Chains A and B, each alone.
Chain A
Amino acid sequence: MSDELSRTPLYDLHVELGARMVPFAGWEMPVQYSGIIEEHLAVRNKAGLFDVSHMGEARVRGKDAAAFLDAVMTNEFSSLQPNRARYTIMCYPDGGCVDDLIIYRMSQDEFLICLNASNAAKDIAWMKSQVGNWDVQIIDECSQWAQLALQGPFAEKILSSLTNLKLDTLKRFAFIMGEVAGAPNCIVARTGYTGSPGFEIYVPAAQGSAVARAILAKGKPDGLLPIGLGARDSLRLEAGYPLYGHELSEKISPIQAGLSWTVKFSKPQFIGRDSLLRQTEMGVSSTVVMFSLNDRRIARPGATVFSGDQAVGEILSGTLSPVLNKPIGTALVASGINPETLTVDIRGTRLPLQITQNPFFK
């Protein structure tokens, strides 16, 4: 693997906007512009624009495309209507996760898959290794797309002033194709990773920067801000969304992560089915929990979780929730432990975890 960091089509724009750039999953990405808390609150109360062009894309095309996806993914794609998208996990035979994905049905025989940046090459190789006798082609389109996320209560107002696409009737997890800010062949989906309403927009790479500039200019009077990866993480944690490498991994299955709803055991066969079914029936050794802390200190990934004097788990993600104004996070904790006994060790201080079942922002 090369040490050289990749740059998205919006790199020059980030630098112009004064972003602090950091290495992330092999990319040079903006971690913040004006400040993580200010950016977070802009998305919750107004609108924010994210460059998520580091995310990968792959097209699956062929007569067997839907059947192939049903065999490789935990969720079901033969039943997905064209112009609709669905969230899924892609598992190994042992139930560990290759990645979590959103898959868009472009037509009867064609799907577009959104891949996590850190997993894109691995995912494409894995899918290609599963093709066998299926009549299907896996096409790497990672370098062909810029991806923008426009999120927040004013997102629809801002985007509708830049496109003739009919957004008001676009349902959640539906998408349409057309021109946005003068750029043809964009995909506009009512999806997101923040918990706030909004859109994800796939723009042909060469037009990515121009479309982003148009959205920033149009949204400015409404308080739209550019948003970095720092607020992207605090927004998704408040909304209870998993991040691969934290709440999901080769070691943490969708059953452990609380994502059983993405696993369709009604399908007779798919990779990981036997293991995931066994986990569902027999139980799992550890599960992912969400928590807040009544403190100012943030529990960071890797910090040890205790029940009494016994180490029973570790922190997977942690940040400050700007909406609650207190630390929140997730932890992997051994099954069967009374949640009221759980504490986390932060630099020698034990703080009680306030376990919650529901996302902090909905």
Chain B
Amino acid sequence: MSNVPSNLHYTKDHEWVKVEADGTVTVGITDYAQAALGDVTFIDLPKVGKQLESADVFGTVESVKAASDLYSPVSGEVIAINSSLNNTPDLVNREPYEKAWMIKIKLKSAAELDKLLDSSSYQSLL
């Protein structure tokens, strides 16, 4: 069974979104996604400052089996990337919701958060 924490938002593309106290969001991929990918070997992330529209490809996650695109759940500016994934991409398999966060985004519009799935809606897709 996949772990789906109730305090996060989700997309149908198996990304999670955490709304931080300052209104920025942190993005990663879900436990279900990491299990489906298998051993993650490489993660390509955007540069800080990149402007993303919702559903833009913001990077690539590569496992032994396949390379998969990462889609931005929201619109906004990339304000941080998790550079520890360069050397330890397998963090995505071990701690997908905590240490393996991928990017932080400064939202263009908080209203976009309403379009995301809550944990029970996401769980029902799995």
Whether, in the assembled complex, B55 has its beta carbon less than 8 Å from a beta carbon of chain A, the answer is no
Interface residues of A in 12-36 (CB under 8 A from B): 31-32, 35-36
Contact A35 B62 (CB under 8 A): no
Instruction: Identify the A interface with B (CB < 8 A).
Output: 31-32, 35-37, 230, 234, 295-298, 300, 319-320, 327, 347
A38's closest neighbor in chain B, by CB?
Answer: B39
Chain B residues whose C-beta falls within 8 Å of the C-beta of A31 in the assembled complex: 65
Chain B residues whose C-beta falls within 8 Å of the C-beta of A32 in the assembled complex: 38
Chain A residues whose C-beta falls within 8 Å of the C-beta of B67 in the assembled complex: 297-298, 300, 347
Measured between alpha carbons, how far is A32 from B89 in the docked complex, in Å?
A: 19
Query: B20-48 interface mask toward A, CB cutoff 8 Å, 1 = contact, 0 = none?
Result: 00000000000000000011011010000
Contact A319 B42 (CB under 8 A): no
Instruction: Identify the B interface with A (CB < 8 A).
Output: 38-39, 41-42, 44, 60, 62, 64-67, 89, 93
B36's closest neighbor in chain A, by CB?
Answer: A20
Given A36-B65, A230-B65, residue A298 in contact with residue B42 (CB < 8 A):
yes
Choose among B41, B44, B93 the residue that contacts A320 (Cβ–Cβ < 8 A). B41
Chain A residues whose C-beta falls within 8 Å of the C-beta of B62 in the assembled complex: 296-298
Chain A residues whose C-beta falls within 8 Å of the C-beta of B66 in the assembled complex: 300
Chain A residues whose C-beta falls within 8 Å of the C-beta of B60 in the assembled complex: 347
Given A37-B64, A298-B62, A320-B64, residue A230 in contact with residue B38 (CB < 8 A):
yes
B65's closest neighbor in chain A, by CB?
Answer: A230
Chain B residues whose C-beta falls within 8 Å of the C-beta of A297 in the assembled complex: 42, 44, 62, 67
Besides A230-B65, A298-B67, 20 other A-B contacts (C-beta < 8 A): A31-B65, A32-B38, A35-B38, A35-B39, A35-B93, A36-B39, A230-B38, A234-B64, A296-B41, A296-B42, A296-B62, A297-B42, A297-B62, A297-B67, A298-B41, A298-B62, A300-B67, A319-B64, A320-B64, A347-B44
